[in-house]
Amino acid sequence: MLFHQSAPIEQSPLAWSELPDPSPGPGQVRLAVRCCAVCRTDLHLIEGDIHPPALPIVPGHQIVGVVDALGPACQRLQPGMRVGVAWLRHVCGSCRFCAAGRENLCPASQYTGFHANGGFAQYALAPEDFTYELPASYDDVSVAPLLCAGIIGYRALKRCNLPPGGRLGIFGFGSSAHIVLQLAIHRGHQVYVVSRGENHQRLARQMGAAWCGADASQIPAPLESAIVFAPSGAVVPAALAALDSGGTVALAGIHMTPIPSLDYDRYLYRERDIHGVMANTRADARELLTEAAAAHVRPHTLSYPLRDANRALADMKAGRIDGTGVLAVGS
């Protein structure tokens, strides 16, 4: 499913296309793709909120597949292994951020389905060093959402500085949020979910949220931490207002509409912090996959054929998916 030009997803800008089978270069593996989850980042790309360096491009960065070819110098993976590929696909390895274990901030970082073709296809290439072995306890469709929704949610959970036993607020309840809810409850936290969608509120309650509603001012207890998953800057003041003194809000989206002017005394003075989240490290991915399997995290999924990628993304945009949409490619 090839993307040529920005347009609203309702206009079906992804086109079914035939491309030559890719050949892996040095240090690369080729995957026979089984499935690829859809992500709001794909929607931001297609609708022009973020801009890839070149078009056309094959989107998709939550890829599950089987290694079917190795490029020169590959050492860890073997043909036939089931693996996953996430958003981050390259860093320089030598800058001050890489040296400090913060490779997600590398100025030379590159991304799957943005700098190089992604997983909305039958085959995909990926650097071996950015390809992950997957827990055997997950089937292909269930594990796909962990590869971005899970990883970014996990990093946002780190960035929100949630203390042991602390109360966590989740603003927006899509793919990433429903995974974080499961992780936080497994860790022993109470979770409060703010979402306008009644179907999302119902799902959050079913999954164990302590409170769900559309109005953050009705949250029954002050929050130690909050994560804003909704791509709306207008949500941020409400998240800050729901915090106790010393609390932190993490902003988990790759793109967000402008944040309104913040009254310092009301929202920030009592040492409330705002932390952005950018991409992920490989350590985040490995840690999340391990913890999700141990916690028996089970993403809610809705499967679509690859040719229906436009419909899957439109359903996500309209809030018609509870959990994560996953494109079934092959088996």
pLDDT tens-digit map of 87-145? 999 999 999 999 999 999 999 999 999 999 999 999 999 999 999 999 999 999 999 99
Task: Tell me the percentage of the chain whose pLDDT exceeds 70.
Answer: 99
Task: Tell me the percentage of the chain whose pLDDT exceeds 90.
Answer: 99
Q: What is the pLDDT of residue 51?
A: 95
Q: What is the pLDDT of residue 116?
A: 97
| CATH assignment of the domain containing 257 | 3.40.50.720
Do 89 and 223 fall within a single domain?
no
Structural domain of 110 = 2-148+279-328
Do 65 and 13 fall within a single domain?
yes
Which of 251, 276, 301 finishes a domain?
A: 276
Is the confidence at residue 331, as pLDDT, over 60? no
Do 135 and 233 fall within a single domain?
no
The answer to whether residues 145 and 175 touch, using CB atoms and an 8 Å cutoff, is yes
User: The tokens of 286 are what?
Assistant: 């490995």
Q: Tell me: the pLDDT tens digits for 133-178?
A: 999 999 999 999 999 999 999 999 999 999 999 999 999 999 999 9
What number is the average pLDDT over the span 4-28?
Answer: 97
**Residue 175 neighbours by CB under 8 Å, 6+ apart:** 37, 39, 40, 145, 149, 299, 316, 321, 323, 324
Burial annotation 249-282 (CB, 10 A radius, 16+ → b, else e)? bbbbbbebeebeeeeeeebeeeebbbbebebbbb
Question: What's the count of helices (H) and strands (E) in the chain, helices before strands?
Answer: 9, 17
Cα–Cα distance for residue pair 123/330, rounded to 1 Å: 10
| CATH assignment of the domain containing 141 | 3.90.180.10
Do 81 and 177 fall within a single domain?
no
Q: What is the pLDDT of residue 229?
A: 96
Do 137 and 34 fall within a single domain?
yes
Q: What is the pLDDT of residue 247?
A: 98
Q: What is the pLDDT of residue 106?
A: 98
Q: Tell me: the pLDDT tens digits for 267-297?
A: 999 999 999 999 999 999 999 999 999 999 9
Do 261 and 287 fall within a single domain?
no
Q: Tell me: the pLDDT tens digits for 290-317?
A: 999 999 999 999 999 999 999 999 999 9
* Angle in degrees, 0-180, between the axes of helices 175-186 and 198-206, rounded to the nearest 10: 20
Do 310 and 224 fall within a single domain?
no
Do 297 and 265 fall within a single domain?
no
Do 112 and 161 fall within a single domain?
no
Number of other residues whose CB lies within 10 A of the CB of residue 318: 11
**Domains in the chain: how many in total?**
2
Q: What is the pLDDT of residue 34?
A: 98
Do 195 and 293 fall within a single domain?
no
Do 93 and 193 fall within a single domain?
no
Q: What is the pLDDT of residue 227?
A: 98
Q: What is the pLDDT of residue 63?
A: 98
DSSP string, 286-314: HHHHHHHHHTT----EEEEEGGGHHHHHH
Q: Tell me: the pLDDT tens digits for 239-264?
A: 999 999 999 999 998 999 999 999 99
| Res. 71 pLDDT band, cuts 50 70 90 | very high
Q: Tell me: the pLDDT tens digits for 194-221?
A: 999 999 999 999 999 999 999 999 999 9
Do 242 and 163 fall within a single domain?
yes
